[in-house]
Amino acid sequence: MARTVIPFGPQHPVFPEPIQLKLECEDERIVGVVPVIGYISRGIEKAAELNPFRNNIFLCERVCGICSFMHALCYCQGIEDMMKVEVPSRARFLRVFWAELSRMHSHLLWLGLLADSFGFESLFMQVWRAREIILDISEMTSGHRIIQSTNVIGGVRRDIDEEMAQKVEEMLAQFKELADRSILPTILNDPTIKERTVGKGILTKEQAELLAAVGPTLRGSGVASDMRMTEYAAYKEIGFEPIVETAGDSYARTLVRVKEIYQSLDIILKALSMMPEGDIAVRVTGRPEGEVVSRVEQPRGELIYYVKGNGTANLERLKIGTPTFANIPSLLVMLPGCELADVPVITLSIDPCIACCER
């Protein structure tokens, strides 16, 4: 049969950011995909070499607009490792608190976009309404809705007192009530969502391992792998078990993320109740020298920072490895065989963040 190449993107209603997929089609069926990236490369890695290393925190936060806290956390943990700084335990708990808030609002944003991609407008509105509560908590505790800027090398910049913690718990209860009432039942029971996601874009366990998928894409295929299992920050004290689904389709990846929203909620509550008293930061003097690899679990998967310092105020090299870049090969396996109308949903099921991917 004759083959047609359809350019999907870079400007497409389902993509919040520009990526192009050259879809090779036989009638309505996809037989091959070529991704084209590089539309929004900003040269952040080079810019990081020109900044003083302390100011890079604010630059790293701007790699991604959704998981900005994780980027700063990964960078700070790298520099702290290199400079042999012991972070106070209260700061480690506070870091977990903001990291899990970021994960919750990232997953909620994605869930809204997924609902929007198959035309489920009311679910999209409900999910983003619930997300607003999480953003309010973020603004109340850190000062900003998205880019929290609370990390510093050696700890965090803001503290959460008893009164604020109580308010956070109230708001989280409000969120849970809304999610239980209007989001979870729809995702678990609605036939429209199942029609568009169940059995679509299957990634088997072997393929996921072979193509080095990360994050919910990997866990949706039945592999229990999560960077939080490495027990950075305060995950050791709080305890953590990854969420795994075995089906490997778009619905499994959706379920992993929905369950992670609830898991994050529990982790936040645990972090607030277990938080020890004490300092929130230590003073760090000196300049970084040596090289280090730092890894954290972003909402989309494993984030890697390679930092090389040479004893001056500027870094010699900063290399950022982002989860979306690691998940694009898996996407190329999921798409062939599907119908053209399923491409938006399957593409969104890996939660692509192109700004992260291209730095």
What's the min distance (Å) between Cβ of 96 and other proteins? 20
Residues 295, 303: Cα–Cα separation, whole Å = 6
Among 27, 139, 266, 289, binds other proteins (CB under 8 A): 139
* Residues from 27 through 66 that contact other proteins (CB under 8 A): 51, 54-55, 58-59
How far is 334 from 65, CA to CA, in rounded Å?
A: 26
**Can residue 149 be called a binding residue for other proteins (CB under 8 A)?**
yes
Amino acid identity, position 81:
D
Query: Could you write out the DSSP letters of every residue in 288-346?
Result: -EEEEEEEEEETTEEEEEEEEEESSSBEEEEEEE-HHHHHHHHHHHHSTTSBGGGHHHH
Shortest separation between residue 54's beta carbon and other proteins, angstroms: 8
Nearer to other proteins, 22 or 129 (CB): 129
| H helix or E strand, kind and range, residue 139 | helix 121-142
Question: φ and ψ at 73, to 5 degrees?
Answer: -60, -45
* Residues facing 281 on adjacent strands: 155
Rounded least distance, CB 307 to other proteins, Å:
17
Minimal distance in Å, beta carbon 58 to other proteins? 4
Nearer to other proteins by Cβ, of 19 and 76: the residue is: 76
Residue type, 140: M
CA-based torsion, 319, 323, 326, 328: positive or negative: negative
- Residue 186 engages other proteins in binding (rule: CB under 8 A): no
| Secondary structure E strands in 182-300 | 289-298
Tokens representing residue 21 in the block: 């997929």
Question: Looking at 17, 81, 136, 316, which residue binds other proteins (CB under 8 A)?
Answer: 136
Q: Which is nearer to other proteins, 158 or 287 (CB)?
A: 158
Residue 159 sits in the site that holds other proteins (CB under 8 A)? no
287 scored as a contact of other proteins (CB under 8 A): no
The answer to the question of residue 158 lying near other proteins (CB under 8 A) is yes
> Could you say whether residue 140 binds other proteins (CB under 8 A)?
yes
Stretch that binds other proteins, among 91-99, 134-142, 236-244, 251-259 (CB under 8 A): 134-142
Contacts of 86 (CB under 8 A, 6+ apart): 282
Pseudo-torsion of CA 160, 57, 59, 226, nearest 10°? -80
Residues 6+ apart with CB under 8 A from 241: none
Asked if 314 interacts with other proteins (CB under 8 A), we say no
CB closer to other proteins, 33 vs 272: 272
User: Among residues 12, 157, 259, 308, which is the contact residue for other proteins, using CB under 8 A?
Assistant: 157
**Identity of the residue, 20 or 142, whose beta carbon is nearer to other proteins in the bound complex:** 142
Is 144 near other proteins (CB under 8 A)? yes
> Between 140 and 247, whose beta carbon lies closer to other proteins?
140
- C-alpha dist (Å) from residue 272 to 142, 240, 260: 15, 15, 18
- Report d(CA 139, CA 157) in Å as an integer: 14
**Least CB distance to other proteins at residue 30 (A):** 35
Q: Which is nearer to other proteins, 58 or 262 (CB)?
A: 58
Task: Tell me how far apart the alpha carbons of residues 321 and 309 are, in angstroms, rounded to a whole number.
Answer: 18
Q: Of 113-121, 135-143, 296-304, 317-325, which segment contacts other proteins by CB under 8 A?
A: 135-143
Stretch that binds other proteins, among 104-112, 139-147, 231-239, 290-298 (CB under 8 A): 139-147
Quick one: CA dihedral 338, 342, 303, 183, positive or negative?
negative
CB closer to other proteins out of 140 and 274: 140
Which positions touch other proteins (CB under 8 A)? 51, 54-55, 58-59, 129, 136, 139-144, 147, 149, 157-158
